[in-house]
Amino acid sequence: MKKKRKKKLLYTADFFAGIGGFRMGFDKAGYKTAYANDIDSGCCKTYKANFGEIEEKDIESIDIDSLPHFNVLLAGFPCQPFSIAGKRKGVEDHRGKLVYAISKILNKKYPDAFVLENVKPLLTLNKGKIFKEIYSELEKCGKGYNITFKILNSINFGLPQKRERLYIVGVKKRFGQFNIPEKTNIQPPPIKALLEKNVPEKYYLTERYYLGLLQHKQRHAKNGNGFGCKILDLDGPANTLVAGNMGRERNLIKDKPNQKNKWGIRKLTERECARIQGFSDDFVIPVSTTQACAQFGNAVSVPVVEKIARNLKKHIS
């Protein structure tokens, strides 16, 4: 009888690791994490509470030669320079240039593959010139990569959230071209299935605050803008979670009437944000509500990267 061939164990290095969304997705797909890094102390606190060690330092100060062996580089590099919610300075913003810190690592370590995530506007910023520059830089790293990119929506991967994000995957030339999966067959549940029961009073808006939000929305409506607060249809999905307070105000819940407001309008809890992003209920949240909601708004959607991870594993094994 022929001996069964042992499956190759694949290791990842997780840069701009945040709270570990990439790690959770790749762990579920059978990878092992060799290294993780982030500069944000709050994110590192959450990461350590769930996964253990992470190196808390600026990516540009990492000693690349001392990094352990890894097969796949993961990075949700800073999106603020490219986001609609930000000033959109692109690579003129120091954070936008951090993508080149990734290329330095790819040049020196030349792993089998890399998976990057960022916001959709990166594709069109400055008439697409910035993305073309980044693409060209990544393509020539090491001995060269075949690169694929695609906009993926979390709602197509079993999550009740309309969240479009850009995913860029590069594989060594010898592996050919990788096809990024567009969706799974998992139907997302309605948002009401993810809500907590008996939510504490602190999550409810005061009537004064809510009326202020409505006035703010009306001012924008007069100018033809769709900005402002939004109460979710509980039978449908959530809007995109983002790091700022706007992300919670665009995802308001109409719950039980409360002493703070007669309509029962409240914000999402941090656990609800976690569920909407695909984090399991045993995920530890050691930081404040404000910090946690920002962290989940910045994270990658776990089922999306898990699907990419599984397909990539088959492709490079």
Domain range summary for the chain, segments of one domain joined by +: 11-187+301-316, 191-294
How many CA atoms within 13 Å lie on the side-chain side of 264? 8
**CA-to-CA distance for 104 and 141, rounded, in angstroms?**
8
Tens-digit pLDDT string for the chain (317 aa): 555 666 779 999 999 999 999 999 999 999 999 999 999 999 999 999 999 999 999 999 999 999 999 999 999 987 554 444 444 444 454 444 788 899 999 999 999 999 999 999 999 988 999 899 999 999 999 999 999 999 999 999 999 999 999 999 999 999 999 999 999 999 999 999 999 999 999 999 999 999 999 998 998 888 877 778 999 999 999 999 998 766 789 999 999 898 888 999 999 999 999 999 999 999 999 999 999 999 999 999 999 999 999 999 999 98
Angle between helices 41-51 and 289-298 (to 10 degrees): 80
Q: Give pLDDT, residue 6.
A: 64
The secondary structure of residue 185, as a DSSP letter, is S
74's tokens:
């993961």
Point out the residues that are catalytic.
79
- The pTM of this model reads 0.91
40's tokens:
């944000």
| Fold of the 11-187+301-316 domain | Rossmann fold (3.40.50)
**CA-to-CA distance for 116 and 216, rounded, in angstroms?**
36
Q: What share of the chain is helix, strand, coil (3-state, %, to 5)?
A: 40, 15, 45
Residue 275: helix, strand or coil by DSSP? helix
**CA-to-CA distance for 237 and 231, rounded, in angstroms?**
11
Residues 6 or more apart whose Cβ sits within 8 Å of residue 54: 17, 36, 37, 38, 44, 47, 48
**What are the distances in angstroms from CA 18 to CA 102, 116, 233?**
16, 13, 30
Q: Which of 175, 168, 185, 66 is nearest to 123 (CA)?
A: 168
Could you tell me which CATH number the domain at 191-294 has? 3.90.120.10
Q: Give pLDDT, residue 247.
A: 73
**CA-to-CA distance for 74 and 14, rounded, in angstroms?**
5
Backbone angles phi, psi at 161, to 5 degrees: -150, 130
Burial of residue 188 (number of CB atoms within 10 Å: 0-12, 13-18, 19+): buried
